[in-house]
Amino acid sequence: MTSPASALSQLKQFTTVVADTGDFERMREYQPQDATTNPSLILKAAQQANYQALVNQVKSAHPGIKPVDLVDHILVAFGLEILKIVPGRVSTEVDARLSFDTQATIQKAKHLISLYESHGIERKRVLIKLAGTWEGIEAAKALESEGIHCNMTLLFSLVQAAACGAVNAKLISPFVGRITDWHKTKLGSNWSDEQHGGANDPGVTSVKRIFHYYKHFGISTEIMGASFRNTSQILELAGCDLLTISPELLGDLQKSTAVVEKKLNASNAASALASEQIIALKLDESNFRLQLNNDAMATEKLAEGIRNFCIDTEKLEALLSN
């Protein structure tokens, strides 16, 4: 008798599955197409005993360079190992401290790409992660025009997504779990998993809105749901272009035999937007900043995300200084 298909294998029929980790040894068994990293994930991996040899190898190969520059080599070293495992792309993040400096972001992105290319990796296999600030989006516009593809991260709102689509960013990563966290905190004791979970989960509905907006207006930028808190959020977004998932949740999906149905369909886009009275957004700088400012959740989570990535980048520099 044939054993039932895992939820993970069923999900892969509708959505490209991506591993969200710097711990590349753990991703092998789940056979993801792509992988994503960020400063927090690389910091976590770099502190593990099984990666000390890789960290020491990078430090030995670049004696005397500043920690800020050594971080770039560490990010790329982990990326190179990941690319030996996944057939697709790896996402590597630009220093979050550059989130409000377009030119510095462009320079850092080009430097990271040059490091990958020096190891024989084609730029099409690398996505440069940039914060979804106005300055980050402007950097993406310039980089995409030179064939350097961008993964727009720390994305919490439709206006960020629309602006990224307008500059033809390759991919966006809306942060499902962090959106839900904010609403859960806001509602406090009024939060109910039954009422606010599943299809009504605020993080899930945010990604659905972006999906419908992109499909209705013919935006080719890929949508990759990220930052999941549970498998319910993942399965509610079956049919999204891509989903990047932690090894822990990949393991849960692998063990589950729950039936997975396609939940997102481009054919529903027009009616879904009409029901929410959403029209094409004005995306010049002043309108972008105003719309983002008026979204308290997106403003607070974007600021918090940049702060935390800055802190973890500084921790990584300190770790490499020892």
User: Active site residue: 12, 59, 110, 129, which one?
Assistant: 129
Q: Taking phi first (over 0 means left), then psi (-120 to 50 degrees means alpha), and beta for anything else, what does residue 153 get? A: beta
Eight-class DSSP state of 200: G
Distances (CA, A) of 54 to 51, 119, 124, 188, 309: 5, 16, 25, 44, 22
Q: Round to whole Å and give the CA distance between 100 and 131.
A: 9
| Residue given tokens 């002043």 in the structure block | 286
Query: Is 170 annotated as catalytic?
Result: no
| CA end-to-end span of the chain | 56
Cβ burial of 220 (10 Å; 0-12, 13-18, 19+) is: exposed
With CA atoms as reference, report the closest residue to 252 among 224, 231, 225, 221: 231
Q: Which of 162, 68, 156 has its CA nearest to residue 112?
A: 68
Closest Cα partner for 92 from 77, 70, 104? 77
Q: How far apart are CA 124 and CA 149, in angstroms?
A: 7
Closest to 264 (Cα-Cα) out of 195, 312, 210, 201: 210
C-alpha to C-alpha distance for 35 and 174, rounded to whole angstroms:
16
User: Which residues have CB under 8 Å from 275's CB, separation 6+?
Assistant: none
Q: What element of type H or E holds 35?
A: strand 34-36
Active site residues: 129
